[in-house]
Amino acid sequence: MNTNDNTPSEQRGFHELALNIYTRQEHNISRKQISDNALKVLYRLNGAGFDAFLVGGGVRDILLGSQPKDFDIATNATPEQIKNLFRNCRLIGRRFRLAHIMFGRDIIEVATFRGHHQEPSKNVSAQSDEGMLLRDNVYGNVDEDAERRDFTINAMYYNIADYSIHDYAGGVEDLEDKLIRLIGDPETRYREDPVRMLRAMRFAAKLDFDIEEDTADPIEELAHLLKDIPAARLYEESLKLLQSGHGLETYHLMREYNLFQQMFPAVAEHFTEGYDSHTEQMLDLVLDSTDLRIDDGKRVNPAFMFAAILWYPMNKLADKLVAEQGMAHYDAIMEASNIILDQQVKSIAIPRRHTATIREIWQLQVRLPRRNGKRAVRLMELNKFRAGYDFLEMRGEIEGGETKELAKWWERYQTAGRNMRQAMANDVAAPSKSGHRRRKTYRNKKSKQSE
């Protein structure tokens, strides 16, 4: 039996929440809509005497009539007690300990009820000078856990014991009114975790909801707090924001509240009042394309998206290096790529495997025009040719002119027969040597040094 009462810790100034309980007859959630693995976890926790609730997005999405992708569970069992109940359990997290119950590739996340913050001396909770939570392993009861949730629509709990819904913050009403509303004082909650500002954008775009006025008001002023978030965490958040199927709408919301500018500072330098720079056109184009691919069930590559977002800032810098330092075009592209990516990973820690692909896509933009003789065949054999070609097509839509004609040439070349390909390549004039990469000079220098 459960002997874990998790006595409430000292209150911290949240407004008092009003609990509304909706009985099984008063809501539309059925166990048929909950995954078998989630039900197994709920029933085992409940059978061992612990409280067990389906929480967050799972409850929200079912109430909205859509099928959840994930099922998260909250309980008064501690992580260690959960691990003792499930042999297929793995404990993760430092900022807040979580239990992952593994069913093959399916993972059910179980969290212990969170309580209010205690004194730092107890070594379970810590905050930065800005008020941001650095460590948060404070356990409490379900009432406290509800107050610690970010938005009202995420503070609804489906109780497996009697199939009721416990609504602590008016989430059902906000679902009906299509509102994103923070629980507690918005500025305090954003300072605790600035990523909540990004979550507000994501939910508003995903659900087509409005952001409640008090929830929205502090965001633009506090947007700079995102710079205090680890770049690795912001990378993960960027994928949720821009590759969730609603990336275009999310980007425009983020930009309106000065959030996108914090995450992509090099891109923001090219923003215009008319939203009509090449950088802005590419953002709309690549994010719309990404949304369509996700809607069609196709895979999306983060590297391609980041390559598109950063291309024009990088290319503008390369042009500047050519004009001011007299660099060859290819060398300028290489140097500008290093500068832009080094700057970007300080904000969003794009993994090396993706930055390598980004560089390949960018380099192909320089190589694809050089297609005479056997070069075209060799280019098509490259691993990233298709990504480079798709990117060239996008550039053609924006730039028109020679870039669009080049994309059309490559489209015809890919579908042409062998003889036609050879004829097409032979018709292309040989490139001038001025833009060549200086491999020969480098080799000559090496050979002279070894003599």
- Give the pLDDT confidence of 175-187 residue by residue, as tens digits: 999 999 999 999 9
The reply to whether 150 belongs to the active site is yes
Ramachandran area for residue 135 (φ above 0: left; ψ -120 to 50: alpha; else beta): beta
Q: Is the pTM of this model over 0.75?
A: yes
Which token pair is 105? 């590739």
342, HSE (Cβ side, Cα atoms, 13 Å): 6
Q: Is residue 415's pLDDT more than 80?
A: yes
State which amino acid sits at residue 382.
Answer: L
Query: For the chain, which residues make up each domain, given as ranges?
Result: 18-117+130-177, 295-428
Q: Which CATH superfamily is domain 295-428 in?
A: cca-adding enzyme, domain 2 (1.10.3090.10)
Q: Does domain 18-117+130-177 have CATH number 2.60.120.10?
A: no
> pLDDT confidence of 116, banded at 50, 70, 90?
confident
Least confident stretch, 122-126, 134-138, 167-171 = 122-126
The reply to whether 427 belongs to the active site is no
16: Cα separation from own chain's centroid: 33
- pLDDT for residue 115: 86
The reply to whether 217 belongs to the active site is no
State which amino acid sits at residue 23.
Answer: T
Q: Is residue 424's pLDDT more than 50?
A: yes
Q: Is residue 53's pLDDT more than 90?
A: yes
Dihedral over alpha carbons 314, 320, 321, 327 (to 10 degrees): 110
Q: Which helix (H) or strand (E) holds 133?
A: strand 133-136
| Of 136, 145, 150, 174, catalytic | 150
Higher pLDDT, 386 or 1: 386
- pLDDT for residue 432: 58
Q: Is residue 13's pLDDT more than 60?
A: no
| Of 51, 72, 136, 291, catalytic | 72
Q: Is residue 172's pLDDT more than 90?
A: yes
State which amino acid sits at residue 309.
Answer: I
Q: Return the SS3 of 395.
A: helix
Which token pair is 22? 């909706």
CA distance 217 to 211: 9
Q: Return the SS3 of 45.
A: helix
